[in-house]
Chain A
Amino acid sequence: MKNLIVIAYLVYVPVIVLLTFYVAHSLFRNSLVYMKDIFNGRDEIAVATNTLFKIGFYLLNLGFGLYILEITRHLDTPQVAIEALSVKIGGFSIYLGVMLFLNLYLFFRGKRIAKQKRLAAQFIAQPNIPNIPQV
């Protein structure tokens, strides 16, 4: 029954494309705030970095999703087809979640380092201890 496997592929591809698109869209619409914070008001470079991260995210996830497309199991009944698809789509979804957290980690790390640099620059420019409120 070769029709079933074609149907499974035709279900799988739109699902991974839509999933990747949705995750990338919601992640990188919000990450612009971090980027502007990291690059300290240099908007041009912040937008460029954001776009580059976005392209990387799309490439990595769509590439991996297409690479694991091939179903080697023999699809005889619709039940087997749904089970095979569940492994593929569920696995891809978990992978996408891991990638999301990886990118989020990169943003938070960049933010932390930018903050440290800013504090260091402030300290070099004005080495006196800032007035810490006495508790």
Chain B
Amino acid sequence: MNYNILAYIIYAVITMYVIYWVGRLFHRNGRVFILQLFHHHEAQTDATNNIILIAYYLFNTGYAIVQFSNWQPVLTIPTLIASIAGKTGLLVSILAVTHYFNMALIYILSKRILHYSS
């Protein structure tokens, strides 16, 4: 089998699993914060949370799949491992930076809401 196709399959499995797992964790742990921002309206919170989860899946799987288009030609096993690790590392790093940005956003928003309501 062509090494490039093997690389795509391995990369897709790894990134899809990471995206799914991380998304589930965010969905579960972020609910409390949205609940706080929406002043404890449960139905509105769950709806928003689910929509955000779907948007997150779409963006991340889209980014992961777009990476196939500019993959370097893979001829040897070391290149295979290095290219998969490089791409996966970049994707996970982007995820991490976005995550910290979101946490900062929640912090700023919650501070502002507390400020206005009190």
B68 to chain A, nearest CB (A): 18
Neighbour of B77 across the interface among A6, A67, A69, A71, CB < 8 A: A6
* B 1-44 to A, binary, CB cutoff 8 A, 1 in contact else 0: 00000000000000000000010011001111100100000000
Contacts of B103 in A (CB 8 A): 52-53, 56
A24 to chain B, nearest CB (A): 13
Bound CA span A62–B91, Å:
11
Chain A stretch 1-28: residues in CB contact (< 8 A) with chain B: 2, 5-6, 9, 13
Bound CA span A71–B103, Å:
34
Contacts of A56 in B (CB 8 A): 96, 99-100, 103
Q: Known contacts being A45-B36, A67-B86, A70-B85, is A60 close to B96, with CB within 8 Å?
A: yes
**A interface residues, how many (CB within 8 angstroms):** 25
Contact-residue size bin, chain B (C-beta under 8 Å from the other chain): 20 to 34
B29 contacts A69, C-beta separation under 8 Å = no
Bound CA span A5–B80, Å:
12
Chain B stretch 70-88: residues in CB contact (< 8 A) with chain A: 76-78, 81-82, 85-86, 88
Interface residues, chain B, CB within 8 Å of chain A? 22, 25-26, 29-33, 36, 76-78, 81-82, 85-86, 88-97, 99-100, 103
